Amino acid sequence: MNSTEKTHRLGIDIGGTFTDIVLIGDDGTVLTQKVPSTPDNYAEGIATGLTSLLPRQIAEVVHGTTVATNTILERKGALTGLITTKGFRDVLEIGRLRYPRLYDLTWEKPIPLASRRLRREVEERIGANGEIVQPLDIEGARGMIRWMLAQNIESLAVCLINAYINPNHERQLGELIHELAPDLPVSLSCDVLPEIKEYERTSTTVINAYLQPVVSRYLHSLSDRLNQQLTNTNDALPHYHLPSNGCHLYPS
């Protein structure tokens, strides 16, 4: 066998304390390595673990990580803004009006990932059947976006009432944001979770916006480091990320 032939799949599980690495060969051989995780740059821990394995024979990389979970728990995500329909600014606080422990008087509601100051309302309305009840106020939205940019937001979520059935106004806002801030990460609820129920759709879209810059930087850093260490060519290795639903996704 040619020593440079790529015959192994690399699996990586990054935890808060340790990083576990598993190499599985086409012939069934299994190589493992456990190294301390490096939270400042998780790719460094992976690189350390790979030095004693077979880096040039890896054909595919599959990995899972707690980066997103830790970012939420530690509240270290992006400074996130939210644009929503007039009258729905406080959906994140109102939620479903349910207590996780009904008689626990010491329970404190989690602080929303997008502060109220950075949650702004826009004049527009989509009806329950998808009809346009009130057109989107483009100029008002333009001024609002400029104000948010002046607050140095790092990511922006857009969640309009009934956008799951008619995303037209959200799409217009997405185009307007891209026009004013081409590099700003934007999460539209019609893309993230196009389903009924405003609280669930709003909170999920805000979480996506809160995590997007952090996870994007992490995945780019990891991909660059893996390609640097595992290949002798300019061809990038197939690289998959494991979400919580049991499938695997391309980082994009």
Per-residue pLDDT at 25: 84
Q: Please state the pTM of the whole predicted model.
A: 0.86
Per-residue pLDDT at 105: 84
Confidence of residue 232 (pLDDT cuts 50, 70, 90): low
The pLDDT of residue 88 is above 90? yes
- Across the chain, mean pLDDT equals 87
Domain topology for 77-213:
Rossmann fold (3.40.50)
Beta-bridge mates of residue 69: none
The pLDDT of residue 143 is above 70? yes
Per-residue pLDDT at 234: 44
pLDDT digits (tens, 9 = 90+) for 6-26: 677 888 888 878 889 888 888
Q: Which of 34-38, 68-72, 123-127 has the highest mean pLDDT?
A: 123-127
Residues contacting 17, CB < 8 A, separation 6+: 36, 37
Domain topology for 8-71+215-241:
Nucleotidyltransferase; domain 5 (3.30.420)
Confidence of residue 66 (pLDDT cuts 50, 70, 90): confident
pLDDT digits (tens, 9 = 90+) for 187-221: 999 999 999 999 999 999 999 999 999 999 988 88
The pLDDT of residue 233 is above 60? no
Domain residue ranges of the chain, discontinuous segments joined by +: 8-71+215-241, 77-213
- In the structure encoding, which two tokens stand for residue 49, read together? 């673990």
Q: 21-35, 77-91, 146-160, 162-176 — which is least confidently predicted?
A: 21-35
Same fold for the domain at 8-71+215-241 and the one at 77-213? no
